[in-house]
Amino acid sequence: MRRTLALVALAALPRVASALPHVQNASSSQDDAAITLIINDRYIIDDVRSFCQLSLTVASTDVVFSSGDKIFLKVYEDDTVGDDLLWSTEFTITAAELAAGRVERTFDCASNFLDDGVGNSEIYANARVEKDACGTFCFYDEPETANLTAVSMTDDAAEEDDASSRSTPLLVGTLPDRVARDADWFSIDVQSTSDVRVEVPHLASVGRVDLGLLDASMNPLATSADGIDVVVASAVGVAPQRLFVRVAPRSTADFNFYDVRLQLGQPTCSAGATESEVCGSCGMRTRTCGGGGTWGPFGACGGEGECAPGSADSRACMPSGTESRTCDQACHWGAFGGCVGECTGTETRNCYDGPAGTAGVGICVAGTQTCATGVWGDCANQTLPGAETCGNGTDDDCDQRTDAQDSECGGGSGLGSACANTPECVLGLTCLTSAPFTSGYCGEIGCTTGSACQGTGRCVHLFGEDYCLARCTGPSDCRQGYLCLEVLGESVCAPECRVDDECKDPAFPVCNPVTSTCVGRPAGPDAGVTDSGAALDASATEDSAVVGPHDTGVHPRPAADSGLLGELKPVADEDAGCGCNSARTGSGGVAFVILLALTLAVRRRPRASLR
C-alpha cells in the first residue's frame, strides 16, 4: 500500500469579547483513512477533562472493507523519551458501515493532558485501520497528525481569590481569562438601586461551573440558570450595597476556563408608582411599579362602554326594511335611523318570472315592478310561455318554433328531410348542412354508434363522425343526392360523396366517383383489375382508380367484406326488375355453348394415330 505525506492544518478562532482558550486542529490522511485532532491552545494541569475531539473518516476504495475489520485510535503527549498515552479506543466496523463502504465517526477524547514537566505539551493523534482484505503484502493505513502545542496552566493570575475577603472587584463589562480550579470570589459595589445580571461563559462540554450571586449578608439574591455554554444569575431592584459573586467547578477535578460579565441596569420606575392605559371599548387598566423598580403586569380592563367606536348595528323594521345605528367615540350607541326597505319612493324596474332565455322570444315579454312602502310589488304586464296553439302563426311556448315547425303541432321536418336551419327540423333534430349533406339533412351528430336514435333512425359512423340517419328499404326511400346504404345490417339514407376531402374516416378516405361512396385505398396500383377494366382490391372494396361506368352500362355495386363499421353497399329495391345481371348471364351462356361444341368436336375426330 502506498504511503502519503501527512498534511497538517492549524487554525485558531479569533478572540472577540472573551479570552476563553483558542481552538486549534491538525489533520492527516493516508490512502483510505483521514483523521482530524482538535484541542485548546491551553489546558489546566490535573484537569481530568481537558478539551479534545478526534474525527475519523475511512473509505472502502483502495482496499475494500470486510466484516470484522478493526480501527484503533490514540492520542499522545510527545516526550523526548517515551510518549505518554492520553486517550485511546478501538472498535469493529458495523454492518451498516460495511454496507455503506464508509466510516465517519467523531470521538470525545477529553482527558488529563498531564504535566510535561519541562514546558508546554505537544499533543498528537494517530489511527490504525486493519482491513482483512489487505492481506500479507500490504501496509495498513496509519495516518498520524503533527504535534499541537498546548500551554499548561495551574491557575489564573488572580489566585489567591478563594474567599470573599480576597475577592476581585467586578466592574461593568467582561473580566476574561479566568481558571475555575477552585472557588473564585468577586465583589460588586452597587451605588444606586439597580438591576444586576452576571453571566459566566465557559465550554460546558468539558465541565460545568457553578455561579452564586450573594448580598452583603451572604444570602443568595438569585438562583443561577444554565444556558448553552453559559450560566446566568440576575436580580432586579437591588438596593445600594456590596454584592458577592462565587464561581467554582461543579465537579471536583473537572476544571474549566471561563469569563465573567457584569450588567447593571437602572430601575424603570419608582416603587409603588402606577400608570394606566386605554383598553377594550373605552376602558382603562393599571399597573404598579414593584420594589425592584420594574413595572408589574397590567390588571384587568375596567369601565368599558357598550360598543366599540365606529361599529354599526342594525335591526329589521316594517314592512321589510332595516334601520341602523352607529357607536360614537365615547363608546355609546347613537339613535336608530329611518327604516330603509328594498326600495324607496315609487321607482320601477323590469321583471320576468319565466324560464331564462324566453323573454323576448315569441309572445313572451318582460313586465314591470313598482316600489310601494319600501317593497317591490308584483311583476305586472309580463307574458309567460304557454301551450303552443297550432295554426295561429304564433310561437306560444316561446321555443323559437311556430306551428308547423313545433313538435307539439306534429310539424317540423322529420329525420332525413331537407332543411336550411335547425328550427325547420322537428324538436331534437339538428340541420346538418356541412359537406356532403347537400340541401341540408335533419339528423343528429354525436349519437352512440350502432344504436337506434330519434325513434326511427339508426346511428352510424360515416365521414369520421357518428350520425343519426333515416332508415330505408330501397333507393326510392331516399331523396335525390342520397343513397340507401347498408351499415352493420341496417340500411340508412346517407349522402353521396363528391370529393375525397368529404371522406373523413381514415379507414375509408377515398370517394369512388362511380358509386359516390367512401371506400378504402387499394392494396396496390394493379390490384384486382377485372377484364371489364374495373379495378377491385383483394377485399372486393372498390378501388379509387375507377373513373367511369363499366362498358356494359351497368354500375358496379360497392361491396362490403365483413360489414365493418363505415363500410357501405347500395341496397336495391326489393321489387325492382332491372335485369342488372342479364349482360353478365348472356355472356356466360355463349361461352358455355362454344366450350361444349369444341369438346364434342375433339372427341369425334378419328384416332388415326392409334390404328
Model confidence over 154-170: pLDDT tens digits? 888 888 888 999 999 99
More confident residue, 374 or 609: 374
Domain boundaries of the chain, sorted by first residue: 23-153, 164-265, 353-407
The predicted-structure confidence for 203-260, as pLDDT tens digits, reads as follows 998 999 999 999 999 999 999 999 999 999 999 888 899 999 999 999 988 999 999 9
For the purposes of burial, counting CB atoms within 10 Å of the CB of 91, is it exposed (0-12), middle (13-18) or buried (19 or more)?
A: middle
For the purposes of burial, counting CB atoms within 10 Å of the CB of 395, is it exposed (0-12), middle (13-18) or buried (19 or more)?
A: buried
Nearest to 88 by CA among 58, 111, 115: 111
List, in sequence order, every beta strand (DSSP E) within 120-273: 121-130, 148-153, 168-169, 173-180, 184-190, 194-201, 209-214, 220-222, 225-227, 230-238, 241-249, 256-265
Please, are residues 390 and 409 in contact by the beta-carbon 8 Å criterion? Answer: yes
Q: Is the pLDDT of residue 305 over 70?
A: yes
pLDDT confidence of residue 258: 95
Please, are residues 482 and 497 in contact by the beta-carbon 8 Å criterion? Answer: no
Nearest to 1 by CA among 138, 144, 142, 128: 138
Q: Is 96 helix (H, G, I), strand (E, B) or coil?
A: helix
Q: If pLDDT is split at 50, 70 and 90, which confidence band does 523 have?
A: low
Whole-angstrom distance, CA of residue 351 vs CA of residue 374: 17
Total residue count of the chain as it appears in this document: 611
Nearest to 321 by CA among 244, 276, 400, 376: 376
Nearest to 29 by CA among 115, 99, 125: 125
Q: If pLDDT is split at 50, 70 and 90, which confidence band does 463 have?
A: confident
Distance (Å) of CA 316 to CA 308, 321, 374, 457: 22, 6, 13, 62
* Among the four given CATH numbers 1.20.950.20, 1.10.645.10, 1.10.1740.10, 2.60.120.380, the one describing domain 164-265: 2.60.120.380
Which residues are CB-contacts of 318 (< 8 A; sequence separation ≥ 6)?
339
Arithmetic mean of pLDDT, 499-506: 78
More confident residue, 537 or 449: 449
Whole-angstrom distance, CA of residue 519 vs CA of residue 503: 8
Torsion of CA 418, 420, 423, 426, to 10 degrees: 10
ω into 319 cis (within 30 of 0): yes
Does the domain formed by 23-153 have CATH 2.60.40.2550?
A: yes
DSSP string, 98-123: HHHTEEEEEEE--B-----SSSSEEE
**pLDDT over 70 for what percent of the chain?**
80
The predicted-structure confidence for 28-50, as pLDDT tens digits, reads as follows 999 999 999 999 999 999 999 99
For the purposes of burial, counting CB atoms within 10 Å of the CB of 578, is it exposed (0-12), middle (13-18) or buried (19 or more)?
A: exposed
Distance (Å) of CA 58 to CA 105, 140, 141, 356: 9, 12, 9, 81
CA 64 vs. chain centroid, Å, equals: 42
The predicted-structure confidence for 358-409, as pLDDT tens digits, reads as follows 999 999 999 999 988 778 889 999 999 988 887 677 888 898 877 656 656 6
What's the grid cell of residue 560? 362490403
Q: If pLDDT is split at 50, 70 and 90, which confidence band does 611 have?
A: very low
Strand-strand pairing, 274-279 and 283-288: antiparallel
Quickly tell me which residue has 465583589 as its cell. 187
Burial per residue of 256-280, b for 16 or more beta-carbon CB atoms within 10 angstroms, e otherwise: bbbbbbbeeeebebeeeeeeeeebe
